[in-house]
Amino acid sequence: MNIILFIIYGYIGWKYGNWKDFSRYYPSLLFFIIGDLLYQFLLFDHTMWKFKPLGFIDEGLQLNHSLIALGKMAIQYPVTLSIFLGRLSSEKSKQILSIFLWTGIYGITECIAHTTGIMTYHHGWNYGWDLVFNVIMFSMLLLHYKKPYVAWLLVLPTIIGFWWIFDVPFSVLK
């Protein structure tokens, strides 16, 4: 199932992505990936969500949480930014709509993933938090695209806020 989602994202990226201008939003892709890698590293033993293989293709490829997360970083994130930032309107109202559109797209994808069992929630995380997180994430990606230093400054209090809300013990750090 994960491989099928990656193929779907790949096709959508091929069809709708703005790859000719990819170098403009490549720094925001790195920001996106660094954020996910930081989450994967810091909360390795205290994950809020976990990816699981489903189906003979996933299991045949021996996918696990880490490989699925890396696959998302390699396929889903570049496709997302090639469309989200690659087709960004200069109008503020359309940018806000784009944030909510992509929150909805990720929300539907995550709902399917959770419903089918390829993503499970842990430590108080749930679908509602997914949606809140996605609004914040797409807002931060847009902010990083426009004003990267401001986004880097705001990401730290955002991380601390989530750490505090979910009462993550410091003992989970290695």
pLDDT digits over 55-88, tens only? Answer: 888 889 999 999 999 999 999 999 999 999 999 9
Q: What percent of the chain has pLDDT over 90?
A: 91
- Tell me, what's the pLDDT at 21? 95
DSSP classification of residue 172 = G
Q: d(Cα 138, Cα 135) in Å, to the nearest integer?
A: 5
Each residue's pLDDT tens digit, 154-170: 999 999 999 999 999 99
* pLDDT for the residue 51: 95
> Using CA atoms, how far apart are residues 122 and 49, in angstroms rounded to an integer?
6
- pLDDT, tens digit, for every residue of 12-64? 999 999 999 999 999 999 999 999 999 999 999 899 999 999 888 888 999 99
Q: Is 118 exposed, middle or buried (0-12, 13-18, 19+ CB in 10 A)?
A: buried
Alpha carbon distance 29, 81 (integer Å): 7
DSSP state of 17: -
**Terminal CA-CA length for the chain:** 32
Q: From the CB of residue 80, how many other CB atoms can be counted at a distance below 10 Å?
A: 24
Q: What angle do CA 125, 43, 27 make, to 5 degrees?
A: 95
Model pTM?
A: 0.94
